[in-house]
């Protein structure tokens, strides 16, 4: 088993992911001008759905791409709708995490590249990034 396949690590990562998706939802709703108590309620609901679905996968005992306990699945789970759904959700979260990780690496490379270009051109740090943001139409 790898470091990220340990149950306590997965629970902490699910908690952090739920908080971050809740904050992202809150920020997007605030930018759209949605009423404040509604923002908090929807953000809390997103957190509960995200965190709850990850915990359900972790504690279901079903081996998925997302998390594998190394034990065999109990026979009464096999072939049921819950088993098929858990495997589909596990596959979705696995690819979701891979794509998100790749996007974050790309974003880090862009930020670090802009900082390096600023240093090479003797500009203040963040100059290139700010000039790129100013080009956006909004």
Question: For the segment 62-120, what is each residue's pLDDT rounded down to a tens digit?
Answer: 777 777 766 655 566 677 888 888 888 888 888 888 898 899 899 889 889 888 988 99
Please report which confidence band the pLDDT of residue 1 belongs to, taking 50, 70 and 90 as the band edges: very low
How far is the C-alpha of 56 from the C-alpha of 137, rounded, in Å?
42
How many CA atoms lie within 13 Å of 97's alpha carbon, on the beta-carbon side?
15
Please, what is the angle between helix 36-60 and helix 7-31, to 10°?
160
Residue position matching structure tokens 């306590």: 8
How far is the C-alpha of 82 from the C-alpha of 104, rounded, in Å?
32
DSSP-H helix ranges across the chain: 7-31, 36-60, 81-120, 127-134
Question: For the segment 47-76, what is each residue's pLDDT rounded down to a tens digit?
Answer: 999 999 888 888 877 777 777 766 655 566
CA distances from 108 to 15, 24, 105, 135 (A): 23, 19, 5, 20
For the full predicted model, state whether its pTM sits above 0.85.
no
DSSP-H helix ranges across 32-80: 36-60
Length of the chain: 138
């Amino acid at each position: 088993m790898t470091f990220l396949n340990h149950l306590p690590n997965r629970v902490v990562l699910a908690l952090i992911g739920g908080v971050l998706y809740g904050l992202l939802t809150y920020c997007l709703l605030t930018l759209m001008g949605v009423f404040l108590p509604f923002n908090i309620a929807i953000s809390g609901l997103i957190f509960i759905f995200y965190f709850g679905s990850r915990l359900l996968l972790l504690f279901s005992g079903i081996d998925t791409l997302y998390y594998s306990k190394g034990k065999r699945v109990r026979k009464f789970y096999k072939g049921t709708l819950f088993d098929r759904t858990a495997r589909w959700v596990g596959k979705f979260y696995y690819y979701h995490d891979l794509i998100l990780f790749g996007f974050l690496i790309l974003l880090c490379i862009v930020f670090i590249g802009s900082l390096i270009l600023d240093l090479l051109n003797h500009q203040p740090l963040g100059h290139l990034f700010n000039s790129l943001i100013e080009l956006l139409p909004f």
